[in-house]
Structure 1
Amino acid sequence: MLILILKLRCFRHIYMNRINKNILKLVIFTVGGIKKTLKIGQGGLRLFFRPFLFVLSKIFRLSALPLYRLYYFFKRHLLGIFDPARNRLLSLLTKKYVVHILIVSMSLFVFFGNIGAKETRAENFGEQTVIYSLFNDEARFQLVEERAMVNPQDKVLGYLDSSSQIDNRSQILGDGSVTEEQLAEGLSSITSGGSAIVKPNITETEISIADRNDIVTHTVASGETISTIAARYNVSINTILWANNLSATSVIKPGMSLEILPVSGVQHLVSRGDTVQSLAKKYDVESDKIVSYNSLSGDGQIVIGQKLIIPGGEKPATTIVSRNSQYAAIPDISIKKIFEPTTPETSPRGSAIGTGKMVWPTSWRVITQYFSWRHTGLDIDGDYSSPILAADAGVVTRVGWGSGYGNMVTVDHGNGIVTLYAHLSKFHVSNGEAVERGQSLGMMGSTGWSTGTHLHFEVRVNGVKKNPLSYIQ
Structure 2
Amino acid sequence: MTARLRIVSALALGVALGACSEPIDLDLRGKIGGPVDTSAAAQMATENRPEPDDRGIISYPNYQVAVAKRGDTLSSLATRIGLPATELARFNGMKVDDPLRKDELVALPRRVSEPSPLTGADVTGPIKPATSVDVATLAGSAIERASPTAPSVNRVVSGTEPVRHKVERGETAFTIARLYDVSPRSLAEWNGLDKDFALREGQLLLIPVAQKIPAATTKSNAVPVPGSGSPTPTPPSASKPLPAVTPPAASAGAAAGTAAVAATPKPAKPVADIGQAQATPAKSDMVMPVSGSIIRDYSKGRNEGIDISAGAGTAVKAAASGQVASISTTAEGVKFLLIRHPGDLITVYTHLDNITVQKGDAVSRGQSIGKVRSGDPSFLHFEVRKGFESTDPMGYLPG
TM band (smaller chain)? 0.3 to 0.5
| TM-score under structure 1 length normalisation | 0.29
Work out which of the two has the higher radius of gyration on C-alpha atoms and give 1 or 2: 1
Higher percent of residues as helix: 1
